[in-house]
Amino acid sequence: MKELNTYEKELLHQVAELDALPVGAYNIRANGASAARNTTAHIDIVTKTDKPGIDIIIKPGTVNESVHIPVIISESGLKDNVYNDFFIGENCDVTIIAGCGIHNCGSGDSQHDGIHTFFVGENSKVRYVEKHYGEGEGRGKRFMNPTTIVHLNRNARMEMETTQIAGIDDTLRKTTADLAEGSSLVIHDKIMTTGDQHAIAEFDADLNGAGSSCNIVSRSVAKENSRQEYTSRLNGNAPCSGHTECDAIIMDHGCVLASPQLTANHVDASLIHEAAIGKIAGEQLMKLMTLGLTEKEAEEQIINGFLK
């Protein structure tokens, strides 16, 4: 493996909780090139020949294995664009840890656009964890535009945990999914924006198969002058159940726009949405402040609990 500098090691820790090379399959991409790779008996990683990116091929029946594919960018001004396709066979049970960290201490804008496409085989279960993180005191901005496309075959199940906690100036996060019979998709999305950051999140799910289900839970905090836009579209095209929930805390001059959309195209589609936007409840703050916390500490504790 190419030697990583201190910044790069810190980024790896932030986005993938990696302090050493992981167990199992992995592909570490640093500054637009592959920095380290490992495959296993059941998991192949193949460099694409037509465009930047990799194919991750997981053999049918692979269970209790993991794939780490973190991306780190420490060169200021780098624009990285990558296509990763995941082919997950039948009857698998795997964990995939992605994530991208940008350290920008220069004046050029750094950008990472990752397009991840998942083909999840029948009866397979995938846990997908994705963290986005930025840092660096340079004048250059940090952009990330992740696109996630999920195709769930019969009785497949995917659980996504997506997080953007800090340091991304501008992001457009798109997730689309189509669900076959008996399949299910669960998304837990967490985002916090500060300063003048701007974040757009769009979720689209087509519940095409009988008995399919989708549950999207989004929690967001908008601080200072930051702005967030949340859109979700659930299309119930079969007997199915869908639920989306968007809870947002606004602070300072933060602004949050929530626009969920439900479309029931089938009489046996059952769709529910809830959204709530507001500031931290005064009573909650008071309670913690009577326990000796300052207002700022109390706010932090409440936000950490909210985004946990």
Nearer to its own copies, 71 or 258 (CB): 258
Question: Which residue type is seen at 122?
Answer: E
Nearer to its own copies, 47 or 259 (CB): 259
224-263 mask for its own copies (x: CB under 8 A)? ------------x-----------x-xxxxxxxxxxxxxx
Please list, residue by residue across 129-138, b when 16 or more beta carbons sit within 10 angstroms of its beta carbon and e when fewer do: bbbbbbbbeb
The helix or strand, by DSSP H or E, that contains position 296, with its residue range, turns out to be helix 295-307
Residue 148, both tokens:
């996630």
Please list, residue by residue across 49-69, b when 16 or more beta carbons sit within 10 angstroms of its beta carbon and e when fewer do: eeeebbbbbbbeebeebbbbb
Instruction: Tell me whether residue 178 is exposed, middle or buried, using C-beta atoms within 10 angstroms of its C-beta: 0 to 12, 13 to 18, 19 or more.
Output: buried
Nearer to its own copies, 54 or 201 (CB): 201
Using the rule CB under 8 A, is 46 a contact of its own copies?
A: no
Among 1, 2, 139, 274, binds its own copies (CB under 8 A): 274
Least distance from C-beta 37 to its own copies, angstroms?
44
Residue 10, both tokens:
């810190």
Among 61, 139, 195, 268, binds its own copies (CB under 8 A): 268
Nearer to its own copies, 282 or 305 (CB): 282
Least distance from C-beta 237 to its own copies, angstroms?
10
Backbone angles phi, psi at 7, to 5 degrees: -60, -45
Using the rule CB under 8 A, is 216 a contact of its own copies?
A: no
Judged by CB under 8 A, the stretch of 120-128, 175-183, 270-278, 295-303 that binds its own copies is: 270-278
**In which residue are the tokens 């085989």 written?**
121
Q: Which residues bind its own copies (CB under 8 A)?
A: 236, 248, 250-265, 267-279
